[in-house]
Structure 1
Amino acid sequence: MISRDADEVLLAFVHALRVAGVAVTPDRAQTFLAAVAVVGADTARGVHLAGRATLCASPDDLARFDLVFPAFFSRHAGPRQAPADRSRTTARAPLPDRDGDSGPEEGESEVIRALVSDTDVLRSRDIAELSADDRRRLAGLFASLHPRPPLRRTARHQRWHRGEVDVGRTLRNALRQGGEAAELARRRRGRRPRRVILLVDVSGSMRAYADALLRFAHRCTVATRRQGGTVETFTVGTRLTHVTRALRTEDPERALAAAGATVPDWSGGTRLGESLQVFLDRWGRPGMARGAVVVVFSDGWERGEPDLLADQAARLRRIAHRVIWATPHQGRADYEPVQRGVLAVLPHCDHFVAGHSLAAFAEVAELVARS
């Protein structure tokens, strides 16, 4: 049993979810109020669990819910139980329809829109300029990224509703039906995920972005693995380090802690050419990079010989399906590619893109998926 005041707060929260993109139907909102009446509105955990169970219909909804919940209730007194009106046994507050005719007041809507707008601004800000609090908030937003593995065609065919006629299967079906072909069977070339390789620069010049880049690599590793794909991640500094095994842990904090314990050259120098040569000699040419989509996250500051880096980038381009170079400086309006490393690899890159914010990471993920 919850009071009308609590009903209004909960319905305002439902409206906030709709603004954030969660398609909450009126029946789900009614179920949410009933669930809160059972678990009690005096504990944040109870309201949180009741909302996740009743208001969310997909993994995307869960991610948005987890972002909106703390942001919304931090502006209120929090879930609490008001004095009970014994004449009522269930919540009977009017539910807002899809058009929001009976939603919260105008002032409440402005607060909700401000919260969502603040999240959008945070997604677009340069990571190097964020405060410690903003970095902690940004870490939770990586769950909103949904990387997909790029697909390649295989030699084998699979059944499909359109495409070329599968003569063999059409004839076998006809024989089972007494020799009469009632329907043409069709097929298409099969699809398999391509391997994705991430080379993350963790040198001193990339120190401000290293944590976010490894969080992005972890998100790609976990999400792609669930879809049957493979992501291999290496850190690049004064040496090359393979950190894929550490990033396969589902929990991002544990994964980053394990990766941090694996990498010996944090915030050191940059030897892109030598590291890329080691990668190609040990992992690339034997098969890992062949036909893969390779993404390099680096600002291009090279302490070694740029000619060596150019030669290794040319080797990589010959065996990889796509080479994408993401630099944080590309996100600045006045940026010009003048670094020696960037000038050496530009002729051998398929795409040269920004890598300075969460929004830029989302664009990189989409570019990889389309490769």
Structure 2
Amino acid sequence: MPGGGALAGNLLGFGRMLRRAGLPLGPAELLAGGEALTRVDIGDHRQAKAALRATLVHRREHFEIFDQAFDLFWRAPDPSARGATEAGEQLDRAPAAARRVSEALGSSATAAPPPPGEARLDAVLTVSGGEQLRRMDFDAMTAAEIDAAKQEIRRLVLPLDARPTRRFRPDANGRRADLRATLRASLRQGGEVLDIRHSKRVTRPPPLVVICDVSGSMSRYAQILLHFVHAVTNDRDRVASFLFGTRLTNITRQLHHRDAEVAFEMVGQVVPDWSGGTRIGEALDRFNHDWSRRVLGQGAVVLLITDGLERGGAEELARLAAATDRLRQSCRRLIWLNPLLRYAGFQPKSQGVRTMLPLVHEHRPVHNIDSLRSLVETLSAPHARGRMP
């Protein structure tokens, strides 16, 4: 690494802390960071921070974590001393990003290898720990708990309720006599009908459409829920995914990449309004106009992930009502997933929530692993035929 010496060692330690905080970081980024530090005045705090941020961070949602980590790591001369003191002091009162960074730095100071000959039991996902993890709110999780939750989410399987289609396929045990196939077979026997061919109706799961809010109030939940959407996208066909803040973005093609980190990096490059404002009515109106006829055929199920906090005036609320109603009429099931339902005393006081609530088929929480498991069970269960009321 250019520079070598203490600078290289500190940069490696900083990289380890960023990885513990959840940033995808490898040797290539650290080498680029070391090279960038040789091109700036490392005595200038802002120049050094900008150089490392440009080379070590690839996704917009990681900027806040990097800023917290840089300010905490490079402030004191002794990483072990500051990790044991400042991390513990800031843990309870820090926001989410700062809490993840503080715990990552604290773990580097307190973690020690086990004594020789002593066995260490890894009980991260034991029964009690697993139950606690499944019930924990995504917004309250530490970096290690988020990693464990992502692993659990990737293992969720979503076998949507198969629906009959208009197509038939040959089947010897089918209940429908296939006259056309029978006549074709008789031609090979000189016109004699020796056997009646049968067919059965083809069944397949309906299309799944995910429309997820990535505004500032939803960004933390969206980051984790995208792992669920990515797993579902790569496990089945006919899944379409969209993100919206102030505009609507189709990310279906990006999520088809098998590697989750690569897929999310590609998503970050095409989504310009992550953690910004929100215009729910405008986004749903744009979806209805540009995409509904393409992806909502054959009894599609729509998952709308948002907190419903539309900040527009009366005109925007009217637009939200019209767009939500049209979306409901265009699909078989419109399921609203709202992280605000994690509160036991939730009341629909927001104008946006009041507008949308009567226009959806279901309103469900989505704030922890248990809520996702409940959603999977609901979507997998046989449902009444025909359009929802």
Deviates more, 1:213-222 or 1:150-159: 150-159
1:216 aligns with 2:228: yes
Paired residue for 2:273? 265
1:117 aligns with 2:125: no
Paired residue for 2:253? 245
Question: 2:182–2:193: 8 Å Cα contact kept in structure 1?
Answer: no
How far residue 210 of structure 1 moved from its aligned partner, in angstroms, is 1.7
1:199 aligns with 2:199: no
Paired residue for 1:65? none
Cα-to-partner distance string for 1:80-103 (whole Å, 9 max, x where unaligned): 9x9xxxxxxxxxxxxxxxxxxxxx
* Identity level (%): 33
Find the residue that maps to 2:217 and give its secondary structure.
helix
The separation in 2 between residues aligned to 1:165 and 1:274, in whole angstroms, is 47
Paired residue for 1:14? none
Cα-to-partner distance string for 1:127-174 (whole Å, 9 max, x where unaligned): 011122211221222221112345332222234576634263679889
1:345 aligns with 2:356: yes
Letter in 2 for 1:242: N
Cα-to-partner distance string for 1:198-251 (whole Å, 9 max, x where unaligned): 011111111221211211111111111xxxx22111111111111112111111
1:363 aligns with 2:374: yes
Give the alignment's TM-score, normalised by structure 1: 0.62
Paired residue for 1:5? none
Relative distance call for 1:167 and 1:207 in structure 2 (3 A) is closer
The separation in 2 between residues aligned to 1:171 and 1:245, in whole angstroms, is 43
In structure 2, runs of 5+ residues without a counterpart are 1-110, 384-389
1:324 aligns with 2:332: no
Q: Aligned ranges for residues 1-371 of structure 1 at < 5 Å? A: 115-160=126-171, 164-166=175-177, 168=179, 187-224=199-236, 229-284=237-292, 286-290=293-297, 291-304=299-312, 305-370=316-381
The separation in 1 between residues aligned to 2:140 and 2:373, in whole angstroms, is 19
Question: 2:338–2:365: 8 Å Cα contact kept in structure 1?
Answer: yes
Question: 1:237–1:270: 8 Å Cα contact kept in structure 2?
Answer: yes
Paired residue for 2:82? none
The separation in 2 between residues aligned to 1:113 and 1:257, in whole angstroms, is 28
Q: CA RMSD in A?
A: 3.3
Relative distance call for 1:133 and 1:165 in structure 2 (3 A) is closer
How far residue 278 of structure 1 moved from its aligned partner, in angstroms, is 0.8
Relative distance call for 1:116 and 1:281 in structure 2 (3 A) is same
Give the alignment's TM-score, normalised by structure 2: 0.59
Question: 1:148–1:223: 8 Å Cα contact kept in structure 2?
Answer: no
The separation in 2 between residues aligned to 1:342 and 1:209, in whole angstroms, is 18
Question: 1:234–1:240: 8 Å Cα contact kept in structure 2?
Answer: yes
The separation in 2 between residues aligned to 1:359 and 1:202, in whole angstroms, is 22
Find the residue that maps to 2:349 and give its secondary structure.
coil
